[in-house]
A = this chain, B = another copy of it.
Amino acid sequence: MTHTLQDCRARDAADPLRPLRDLFVLPEGVVYLDGNSLGPLPKAVAARVARAVEHEWGQGLIRSWNTAGWYELPRRVGDRIGGWIGAAPGETVATDTTSINLYKVLAAALSIAAQDQPARKVVLSERSNFPTDLYIAQALCEDRGFQLRLLETAEIEAALAADTAVLMLTHVNYRTGAMHDMARLTALAHQHGALAVWDLAHSAGAVPVDLNAADADFAVGCGYKYFNGGPGSPAFAWVHPRHADRFRQPLAGWWSHAAPFEFTPDYRPASGIARYLCGTQPVLSMVALDAGLDAIDASRPLGGIQALRRKSLALTDCFIELVEQRCAGHGLSLVTPREHALRGSQVCLARAEGAYAIVQALIARGVIGDFRAPDILRFGCTPLYLGFEDVWNAVEHLRQVLDSGEWRRPEYNRANAVT
């Protein structure tokens, strides 16, 4: 399909999700294709955070732990996130960071494996998984006497075996945008007697996720990408109810105690998902996440995740086709899968030379995407606030940057980068 600027404008005019764009601050002159790294500011967040600072903290002081509901935030916000990932109420907590939550759930998974099937000593993952997942798994495996085996994507199914304790995968790959079939891989893992741990960093809020329907065992993910919770906002952890009460996770701080305000010297774990809390949470960042979730929740009456998914696929299709039509001959290759069932909500292109510099030249023009080493240009297409004209403009800038060779300017060279 050939796209024109006029077509793109017409599609925006006909888009039922278009009003959601007005819920966000989108700076003039910016096409924001990095919502998969940090979602933009929902307009309502500033007032909510100001109220938390000035009224709840300033006037309520310590009393606000009760009167402003601060204590309930991890579970209440967790349940709100749970509604986007196929979790029932009481199965999800918003807390800590994705890395730390992965440590908790993987430690629990290894404990269960060690008890139920002590001969299984292998954790399988992908070499292309987000590195922090691999670092956390590496450290835990060393400490617990397990072996972390890293695979290419195509090797996963054949590698599941009688020695597999846990299959630990990220649902949508951060570098390529490729998406796994969660239900199928979870079922395969279970058939082989292994547990399935999922990182939803690049899929929660972006694509349909149904953890209970997939019968997953554990999951973690981010608050600051598709949930627009703000820089470094708390992450989340989900545990299937069949596992929640089985093991204490190792970060057994007082918020995971059955009665934290009894201040007893002996640890007695809370039942359910509260066991996956640890210490006192950053309330201001948690409040921003709570308010940020209002923006994605506003899509529910417009069709929710199914409508978002339809638009996301239309946006990424349009992006891919425009690049092929207008940037041909410039050495770009598509990394993200063409097949819808295998694609997340981003378009990744590879280029043997200059990927870093091209992204910098685009950012200088207000088209904000991401470089991912060694050769990837990554463009997140978030349907909550992006339109088809944005996609047209982004690809037009990319064409101009390539046609003009302006990406060769010294200021865009990676060797000259300050960070």
Contact = CB atoms under 8 A, between A and B. Distances in A.
Contact of A97 (B38, B96, B265): B96
A61 B368 contact: yes
Interface string A1-40: 0000000000000000000000001010010101001101
A383 B140 CA distance: 44
Interface in A232-279: 232-235, 248, 250-257, 260-267, 278-279
A135 B254 contact: yes
Contacts of A136: 251-253
Given A46-B53, A131-B264, A132-B253, A363 B61 contact: no
A175 B130 CA distance: 43
Interface stretch (A62-70, A388-396, A401-409): A62-70
A220 B235 CA distance: 23
Given A53-B45, A103-B250, A265-B134, A419 B232 contact: no
Interface string A72-114: 0000000000000000000000001111100100000000000
A130 B253 CA distance: 11
B253 A100 contact: yes
A251 B140 CA distance: 8
Task: Report which residue of A99, A100, A138 has the largest number of chain B beta carbons within 10 angstroms of its beta carbon.
Answer: A99
A207 B45 CA distance: 37
Contacts of A46: 50, 53-54, 58
A146 interface: no
8 contacts: A40-B58, A41-B57, A46-B53, A96-B96, A99-B278, A135-B257, A139-B250, A230-B283
Q: A-B pairs with the 4 shortest C-beta distances?
A: A97-B279, A99-B253, A282-B285, A99-B279
Contact of A278 (B25, B70, B100): B100
A296 interface: no
Interface of A: 25, 27, 30, 32, 34, 37-38, 40-41, 45-46, 49-50, 53-54, 56-59, 61-66, 70-71, 96-100, 103, 127, 129-132, 134-136, 138-140, 143, 150, 175, 224, 230-235, 248, 250-257, 260-267, 278-286, 288, 363, 368, 370, 372-373, 418-419
A230 B138 contact: no
Contacts of A288: 53, 284
A131, A248, A288: which has the most chain B beta carbons within 10 Å? A131
Contacts of A256: 135
B280 A97 contact: yes
Nearest to A148: B265
A62 B130 CA distance: 19
A29 to B, nearest CB: 11
Contacts of A127: 265
Given A253-B100, A257-B131, A61 B265 contact: no
B27 A280 contact: no
Nearest to A36: B62
